[in-house]
Structure 1
Amino acid sequence: MVDYRNYIVWQKSHRLVIDIYKTTASFPKSEQFNFTSQINRAALSIPINIVEGCGRETQKELVRFLYISSGSAHELEYLIQAATELNFIDSNESLKLLSEVAEIKKMLYALIQTIKKQL
């Protein structure tokens, strides 16, 4: 087992969750149970799966959960793009969030590759 707090990718994805929640707070109330919920869940899924993977017994299981985190990062990227086109997110905020997601995706990929080499 690994302490998830030691992973910079977890730290960055946790920060992203906070940023996403602050951003979605201004989404239309009519989207509270639809778009807002979906984008918040996608963001939360990234650090949650890192945490769950770190709690597993093998590195192989950790890699599986890192792949799930990566999938959620890809999903979140699309949701941010769609929210921007729907004018739920300001374009400057969107660029900032998309940059954070891109960095997290790269970090997850690198971590997965590093762990896979050790298997």
Structure 2
Amino acid sequence: MNHKELDVWIKSIDLVESIYKISNTFPDTEKFGLTSQIRRATVSIPSNIAEGAGRKGNKEFIQFLYMALGSLTELDTQYLIAVRLNYINKDKELELLINDVKRLLLGFRNYLNRKL
């Protein structure tokens, strides 16, 4: 399976791009804190999808989708922290993108589960 053709991978790459842009506005004091953490969590999402796609079967792929979901939840929490600390304003487009990626991850996981 080519991960680059999966809607969930494509959307998660869009999410990485958005997070990198928005985290550029964080204070310099957060360079090794929240900025680094939110970027690592975001990059982990498409990375886990890609790694799962390269594994030998759907069961392993599903485990990597769970890791991607965990990273997405981590990202969502870090986004909310950045909003509460007034590093950024609430961003409806970003929130929709986060929800889209979550919906796609869950849907793809369910699809692979049915194929087991």
TM-score by length of 1: 0.94
- The separation in 2 between residues aligned to 1:88 and 1:96, in whole angstroms, is 17
Match of 2:101 among 83, 101, 104: 104
Once the 2 structures are TM-superposed, how far is the Cα of residue 79 of structure 1 from its aligned partner? 0.8
Aligned to 2:34: 35
Once the 2 structures are TM-superposed, how far is the Cα of residue 77 of structure 1 from its aligned partner? 0.8
Identity %: 39
The one-letter code matched in structure 2 to 1:107 is: L
Once the 2 structures are TM-superposed, how far is the Cα of residue 103 of structure 1 from its aligned partner? 1.0
Once the 2 structures are TM-superposed, how far is the Cα of residue 95 of structure 1 from its aligned partner? 2.2
Once the 2 structures are TM-superposed, how far is the Cα of residue 45 of structure 1 from its aligned partner? 0.6
Aligned to 1:76: 75
Q: Does the CA-based 8 Å contact 1:80-1:98 persist in structure 2? A: no
Per-residue CA shift, 1:58-117, capped at 9, x if unaligned?
1111010011001111111111111011111122xx222121111111110010011001
- Give the secondary-structure state (helix, strand or coil) at the position aligned to 2:114: helix
Q: Which runs of 5+ in 1 are unaligned?
A: none
Give the CA RMSD over aligned residues.
0.8
The one-letter code matched in structure 1 to 2:50 is: V
- The separation in 1 between residues aligned to 2:93 and 2:81, in whole angstroms, is 15
- The separation in 2 between residues aligned to 1:99 and 1:82, in whole angstroms, is 17
Q: Which runs of 5+ in 2 are unaligned?
A: none
The one-letter code matched in structure 1 to 2:63 is: R
Per-residue CA shift, 1:16-58, capped at 9, x if unaligned?
1011001111110000000000000111011000000011111
Q: Within 5 A, what are the aligned runs for 1:35-74?
A: 35-74=34-73
TM-score by length of 2: 0.97
